[in-house]
Amino acid sequence: MTTEKYQNSFPLPDESPEKIDKIMSDAYFGAQKFYLLKTALELKIFDYLSDPKTSEELSSILDLDPVLTELMLKSLYELGIISIASKNGETHYINTNGSDNYLKTDSKYSKAPSISASFNSMDRWVKLSEIMGSSKSEIMENVFFPEIIKRMANDAKCWELQKTVEYVSKFSEFKSAKKLLDIAGGHGLYGISLGMLNENLDAFVFDLPEVTVETKKFIEKYNAKNVDTVQGNFFTDEFGENYDVVFSSYNPGGKNPKVAEKVYRALNLGGIFVTKQAFPKLSSQSTSDNLNNMEWNFSSFNATGKGLVRYTFDTDLTFEEYVSYLEELGFEILETKPVYELIEFSEEMFPNNIIVAKKIK
Ligand SMILES: C[S@@+](CC[C@H](N)C(=O)[O-])C[C@H]1O[C@@H](n2cnc3c(N)ncnc32)[C@H](O)[C@@H]1O
């Protein structure tokens, strides 16, 4: 009698909550890691761990709770960002080579400013219900790009820049080139680095007028005497002519057929077009693709029409369409490669590809 009453009060639902619990606990764990790393950077933990320190030493220097400090250090160790060394029987924590290079604020290769900025973009997810109920915020290209290229310069010079430049410099067409154009070069580091590898080269960085103001600062910083800027808008302006190499990395016109035609006209016969762009699969349905597409759709550009899928714009071609279009224009495809292979990462994080095409007619 009693048992029957109990069962009627708590009838078992049709399905267990395991799936929902797992999604929520994974999301919570991701958020814990997010705030752990954000706080470690804000506290400049990696600046202090250039030399080995016990957790007591660190908590005393930074005036932090000793228990939480020790647990933070243990978590960073478990994530593989710091290592442990035993000294006089005591546990000391010290940066790995990776955190010394990329997470210390005063390192030449510090990613700390760009990581902090990306943590700040998470604010938009905090305000998601507000964003979903309002119309898209509009980004002005002439304000957005002069800022974002500083972050891109910071990230590029940590690895991808060197790997890309090394790759391009192996092509005989680059070795004999006299004139190079870096379209939408932004910071200009690609043009500047390529210019350093070929002393006979004059390199030109093409970008929006407000951006070339910043490009000039980079050119000056690296004393790149053979690099200059060209102000323009690739949707409305031509690039000029007689280029032996046209290079382009991650630009909003990088999959646009009209811009490809302008590249074709700008190149000398026998010259090469090297283009490194994001080519996301339009049909992909993974959770991370959908979330990234949501983020892409939080805002629109003032002048450039965004597509629905992240990193795409109106009238863009897919990777396969773009490659065929280059062939139709009179290019021979010398090589295509996923960027993660080019930069020797073990797995693809972004759907990026590099294409090297030679103007043959
Ligand atoms: C994502 S950044 C890429 C910067 C650099 N090439 C790199 O890979 O690090 C895109 C660049 O495209 C430029 N850009 C955007 N729209 C443009 C347009 N209509 N004409 C010329 N440049 C443009 C931006 O100013 C910015 O420098």
Return the domain boundaries, the chain. Answer: 18-121, 137-359
How many Å lie between the centroid of ligand 1 and the Cα of residue 184? Answer: 4
Nearest CA residue ID for atom 14, ligand 1: 184
pLDDT of residue 261: 98
Low-confidence ranges of the chain (pLDDT < 70): 1-7, 284
Place of tokens 């990462």: 345
pLDDT of residue 281: 86
Q: Which CATH class is domain 137-359?
A: alpha beta
Q: Which protein residues are within 6 Å of ligand 1, measured from CB?
A: 141, 145, 149, 152, 156, 184-186, 207-208, 211, 233-235, 249-252, 304
Nearest CA residue ID for atom 26, ligand 1: 186
18-121 CATH? 1.10.10.10
pLDDT of residue 22: 98
pLDDT of residue 1: 47
pLDDT of residue 5: 54
How many Å lie between the centroid of ligand 1 and the Cα of residue 181? Answer: 13
Contacts 24+ apart (CB under 8 A), 142-146: 142/208, 142/209, 142/210, 142/211, 143/210, 144/301, 145/186, 145/207, 145/208, 145/210, 145/211, 146/210, 146/211, 146/213, 146/214
Atom of ligand 1 nearest to the CA of 182: 6
Best residue among 149, 193, 247 to mutate for probing ligand 1, ranked by most atoms within 8 Å of CB:
149
Mention every residue, 6+ apart, whose C-beta is less than 8 A from residue 110: 101, 102, 103, 104, 154
How many Å lie between the centroid of ligand 1 and the Cα of residue 7? Answer: 65
How many Å lie between the centroid of ligand 1 and the Cα of residue 36? Answer: 33
